[in-house]
Structure 1
Amino acid sequence: MMKNYKSKLGLELIIPLILIFGYSLFELISNKVWIGIFIMVLTIIFILYTFLSINYKIENDNLNVKCTILMNINIDIKSIRKIIETYNPLSSPAASIDRLEIFYNKFDSILISPKLKKEFIQNLLEINPNIEIIYRK
């Protein structure tokens, strides 16, 4: 079995970025700071590419969390102990703060935000039915 899940894109992250980068770009264009405009456009393209490339793949007994060249983590699904639904804003391979925190091995955890959370969790449970699931209230 192989399933691919894209990251959910949350407006709570997108809107502030649009406002910050939009204002900065407007100021740079108004002041004709060409190198600044060039750098800002490259930065915006990189952030968009990063957000759109976040991917969670379930294949055999592994969960692969991939985010461009920045991150490529393989997690043995049998090592997953617990999944908690959270709004934790810490930096992670997630484009939304509507997240799942996955606890695996003895002390490891990762924050992700798959679009289809319930289906994603169900696919993990099919491989490891011992995963404890804690939903937000």
Structure 2
Amino acid sequence: MKNIPVKIGWETIILIAVPLLFPLYFVFTDKDYIPLTILIPAIIFVSILIMGISYRIIGNELIIRNSIFGSTRIPISDIRSVKKTKNPISSPAPSIFGRIEIIYKNGSIIISPKDFDMFKNELLKINPNITF
């Protein structure tokens, strides 16, 4: 089993944090603590979503765990190509920059490994026919 570290981009954190932290203004200025009843669970939920993303290579499969939304298992022999992308579509890729699209037999998926070269080398060990 090989764990592939996930890249969590600062831009994603900012895009999520600003709207979530905006209600703090009312907590401090109006002494209104009701927004905290929404804010704290929202922060916990978003943290679970982001921290629950993982990528693993087990045997000949790439397993992409998408937090509470389940897992995608891709046989590495089915992967045809991997290319860098800036596609902002929702995916198990908690980074806007450094995303890659994996095109395989039954579709495609976007992920964001922390170390692209290490990820690439691990895939090529199993399937040298993948194009990058």
TM-score over 0.5 for the alignment? Answer: yes
Structure 1: gaps of 5 or more residues: none
Q: Compared with structure 1, are the counterparts of its residues 46 and 29 closer, same or farther at alpha carbon in structure 2 (3 Å cutoff)?
A: farther
Q: Which consecutive residues of structure 2, in runs of 5 or more, have no partner in the other structure? A: none
- TM-score normalised according to structure 2 size: 0.90
Per-residue deviation, 1:33: 5.1
Structure 1 Cα separation of the partners of residues 39 and 47 of structure 2: 12
Q: Secondary structure at the match of 1:4?
A: strand
Deviation at 1:30, TM superposition (A): 4.3
> What is the Cα-based RMSD across aligned positions, in Å?
1.5
The answer (yes or no) to whether the contact 2:21–2:39 under 8 Å persists in 1 is no
> Does 1:65 pair with 2:72?
no
CA contact (8 A) 1:80 1:105 kept: yes
Q: TM-score with structure 1 length normalisation? A: 0.87
**How far off its partner does 1:67 sit?**
2.2
Q: What CA distance in whole angstroms lies between the structure 1 residues aligned with 2:109 and 2:51?
A: 19
Residue 46 of structure 1 corresponds to 45
- Number of residue equivalences: 130
Q: Secondary structure at the match of 1:132?
A: coil
Amino acid at match of 2:123: L
Query: Which residue is 2:103 aligned to?
Result: 103
* CA offsets 1:56-92 (integer angstroms, 9 cap, x no match): 0001110000022213110010000010011211100
Aligned-partner SS, 2:129 = coil
Runs of 4 or more consecutive aligned structure 1 residues displaced over 6 Å after TM superposition: none
